[in-house]
Chain A
Amino acid sequence: MKWPEKQSSATLSPPAEACAKGRPSKGASAWRLGLRKLRGRGSLIAGISVVGVFGLVFFLADWLAPYDYRSQSRPESMAPPTPIRFRDAQGQLHAWPFIYARRLVDRSTHRYEEITDRAYPLELFARGYSYEFLWFFPTNLHLFGVRGDAGAEAPRVYLLGADKFGRDRFSRLLMATYYSLLVGPIGALLAGALGVLIGVVAGYKGGWTDTVLMRAADVMLALPALVLILAVRATFPPGLQPAGAIKLLLVLFVLLGWAEISRLARGLTMELRQRDHVMAAVSLGCSPAQIILRHILLNAALPLTTQAVLILPTFLLAETALSYLGVGLQEPEASWGSLLTAVDNSVFKRGHAFAELSPALAITLFVFGVRLIGDGLEKERRELEVERSTRVERSDQQ
C-alpha cells in the first residue's frame, strides 16, 4: 500500500497532520504505518507489556512453578536461594547449569553449605506435581526442575529461597500472583459495573433519584473502607476456605467500591443526554434501555474504562492489605499480602532481602504497569476530545 502523494490535510487529525508534514511520504509500509500509530503511546505500551507479563503468570502459574506451593521441606527452613552453577567445585566449566544439594550448618542463622560430591543438572520441561494446565488439561509437566536418578531424590531448587516451613518461595509467589490477580481485577470490574449502572440511572432519571443516589455515593466515598471491611470480616468465622474468602472480599469490594465510578458515569450521562444524537433517538421513540446502551454507554466507554483502570490498584491493594492483616486469603493459600507477613524488621540482615521482598516488588511493578496504562488511556481520551472539538469547529465553519 502506498501513502497517497497528495492527501488533503483537512481530513487528518492535528497530530497526524503534523506527522504528515514533518515526514514526506517515504513509501510507508503497513509496518511503518503501525509504528506511526505507536508513536507517543510509550506509556500505554510499557504498561500493557508489564501487565501482560503478569497476565501470562496468571494463566501459566502452575506450569511455571517447579513445586506445589503448599509442599513443605522442613529441613530447609529459611534456606537462601539455591546458587545455580556452571562451574563445579573442581573448577571445570559445564555447558548446562546444575545445582548442589545443601546441608544445614547453623540452625540459628539458617546457614547452609553445599555438598559438592555430586551435581544435579537442571532440566527443562521437568515432571513434577500434577495439575490442570489452563484449568483443563491434566498434566505434570513444568517449565523446569532438577533431574535426579533412580534411587537418589533430586534436591529442590529454590530460585527465591524457602520460607520458614521450607516451601518454595518462587512457587508461592506465582500462586500468589494468581490469587491476587483473581480478586483485585474482578472486584474492580464488578464494582465498576455496579457504579456505572447506578451512575447512569442517576444521570438519566435526574430528580430525587439522582439526589439520593449521589448523596449515597458521597457518603461511600468518605467512609474509611478498610476499617469497615475489617468490621464486617470479623462477623464471619476466622478460618474461611479460599473460595469463601474470595467471595466475601468480592462482595465487600462491590458494596464499598462503586461510588467513585458512579459519579463519573452520572456526569457523562448528563452531558451525553443533551447531545443531538440522543435527542434524535428520544424523538424517534427509542426505549430508554436502548438509548442508554447504544447512545450513552457506547460513547462513555473510553472515559469509563480509563477510570476503571485507574481504580483497579485500589482493589488490588485492599486485597493485599487484608491478606497481610490475616483476614483475606489465609495460609496455606498464598496472596501477595499474605506472603509479606513473613517480612519482619531484620529482613536486610539476613542477606537475601530481594528474595524475601519479591512479593513487594511484584505488587509495586503491577500497580506501576496499571497506572501507566491508565495514564496512556487518559492521554488517548484527551486527544480524541481535541480531535472531536476541532471536527465540530470545522463543521460549524462550513
Chain B
Amino acid sequence: MIKLIFSRLLQGVFVLLIISFLIFALMARAGGDAVSALDTLRSSEETRKSLRGLDGLDRPLMERYWNWVAEAARGDLGRSLTLHIPVWNILRLPLLRTGLLAAVALLIAWLISLTLGIAAARRAGSWVDRLCSVIVLLAASTPRLVMALLALAFIASTPLFNVFGPTSDSATEVWSLRVIPPAIVLSIPLVALFLAQTRAVIRDALDEEFVRAARAKGAPEWIVLLRHALRPALNPLITVFGFSLGEVMSGSVIVETVMGWRGLGQLGVEAVGTRDIPLLLGVALAASAAVMAGNLLADVLQRLNNPRLR
C-alpha cells in the first residue's frame, strides 16, 4: 500500500512536470504572453520591454522554466501577470469551491445511481429497469452546456434566483446553497455513467451462488443487497468513479462558467481571456493534481475493499 501511494505520487509529480513544461514551451514558441495581450493599449516598445523584464519574460525558456520549477517545489507558483499577486492566493478559494461542487455532484450522482441501479437490477424488465434505460439514454445525450443554460434560465425566471443564482463577483464565501443547481447539472451525465454500471454489476452479483446462499439462510433482503451483492460490486464501481474524475473537472469548467460558480474552471476561462499564463498554469496543475489525487484515493479504496489486491 505504502509502495503504491509512493509510486503514484512520484508519477503524479512527473506528469505535472511534463504538463508544465509543455505549456511553457508552447508559450515560448507562440511568443504569446500577457504583455503581447496588452497590444490594445498601444504601449511603446520600451514599455513592453521593461514590463517583460519586470516579470522575467525576457530570459531564455529553459532558465525561466527551471526557476519556475525551483519555486514551485517550494510551494510558490509565481505571480499572476495581470493581478500581480501570488498565483496560489488566487487559486485557493476557487479550488475549494470546485472541490465542493464536485463532491456534491458526485454525492448526488451516486445516491441516484445506487438507489435506482439496485432497484433495477433486482427486477430485470420491470418498470424501474426500463425507467433506468430511458434515464441513461437521456442523461447521456443532453450536453452539460445545454442543461446549464436551461437551468440558469429556469432559475432566473423563478423567485429562487436569490437563493440559487450566481455568486457575486466579490464573494469570498465557499460554503453556500448556491452550489446545488450547478452540482445537479454537473451530476446528470455522471448518473448516466454510474447508473448503467451499477445496474450491470449488481445484476451480475445477484446471480452469484453466495447471494443465493445468503437468501437461503434467511438473511434479510437489505443485508443480502448491501453486504452480499454490493460489496463485491464495489470494485468496478470505484474504477468508474476514478475514471469519471477527469470528466467532472472538464465538465465543471462549463457548468461554472455558465452558472456563475466562481471555481477553478471559471478562473481558467478568465485567465485565457487575459492570457495570464502563470495563473493558467496554476489552474491546469491544480486541476490535474486534484484529479490525480482522486484517482489515488480510488485505488486505495479499491485495495481496502478487496484484500486480494493488497
Task: Specify which of A222, A337, A357, A360 lies most central, judged by the most chain B CB atoms within 10 Å of its CB.
Answer: A222
Bound: A371/B156 CA distance, A: 31
Task: Specify which of A235, A324, A368 lies most central, judged by the most chain B CB atoms within 10 Å of its CB.
Answer: A235
Contact yes or no, A236 B30, CB < 8 A:
yes
Contact yes or no, A324 B153, CB < 8 A:
no
B250 interfacial contact with A, CB 8 Å: yes
Stretch from B121-129, B197-205, B214-222, B241-249 that touches the partner: B241-249
Residues of B within 8 A of A215 (CB): 11
Bound: A348/B30 CA distance, A: 43
Contact yes or no, A238 B37, CB < 8 A:
yes
Contact yes or no, B268 A232, CB < 8 A:
no
Q: Indicate with 1 or 0, residue by residue over B211-253, a CB within 8 angstroms of chain A CB atoms.
A: 0000000000000000000000000000000110110011101
Task: Specify which of A232, A318, A368 lies most central, judged by the most chain B CB atoms within 10 Å of its CB.
Answer: A232
Q: A234-B280, A238-B37, A346-B156 known; A225 and B246 CB under 8 Å? A: yes
A224 interfacial contact with B, CB 8 Å: yes
Q: B interface vs A, CB < 8 Å?
A: 11, 15, 19, 22-23, 26-27, 29-30, 32, 37, 137, 140-146, 149-150, 152-157, 242-243, 245-246, 249-251, 253-254, 257-258, 264-265, 268-269, 271-273, 275-277, 280-281, 283-284, 287-288, 291-292, 295
Q: A226-B253, A235-B277 known; A320 and B145 CB under 8 Å? A: yes
- Interface residue from A227, A345, A360 paired with B288 (Cβ < 8 Å): A227
Would you give the shortest CB distance from A164 to chain B, in whole angstroms? 17
Contact yes or no, B141 A222, CB < 8 A:
no
A347 interfacial contact with B, CB 8 Å: yes
Residues of B within 8 A of A347 (CB): 149, 153
Residue of A nearest to B243 (CB): A221
Q: A227-B288, A231-B281 known; A324 and B30 CB under 8 Å? A: no
Contact yes or no, B257 A325, CB < 8 A:
yes
Bound: A377/B244 CA distance, A: 24
Residues of B within 8 A of A327 (CB): 272
Residues of A within 8 A of B271 (CB): 230, 234
Would you give the shortest CB distance from A51 to chain B, in whole angstroms? 13
Contact yes or no, A222 B292, CB < 8 A:
yes
Contact yes or no, B253 A235, CB < 8 A:
no
- Interface residue from A223, A233, A346 paired with B272 (Cβ < 8 Å): A233
Task: Specify which of A215, A313, A326, A347 lies most central, judged by the most chain B CB atoms within 10 Å of its CB.
Answer: A347
Bound: A239/B91 CA distance, A: 27
A237 interfacial contact with B, CB 8 Å: yes
Contact yes or no, B143 A317, CB < 8 A:
yes
Task: Specify which of B22, B142, B146 lies most central, judged by the most chain A CB atoms within 10 Å of its CB.
Answer: B146
Contact yes or no, A227 B287, CB < 8 A:
yes
- Interface residue from A231, A324, A349 paired with B284 (Cβ < 8 Å): A231
Interface residues of A in 305-351 (CB under 8 A from B): 313, 317-318, 320-321, 324-327, 337, 340, 343-349
Bound: A327/B272 CA distance, A: 8
Interface residues of A in 159-181 (CB under 8 A from B): none
Q: Indicate with 1 or 0, residue by residue over A273-287, a CB within 8 angstroms of chain B CB atoms.
A: 000000000000000
Residues of B within 8 A of A367 (CB): 140-143
A49 interfacial contact with B, CB 8 Å: no
Residues of A within 8 A of B29 (CB): 235
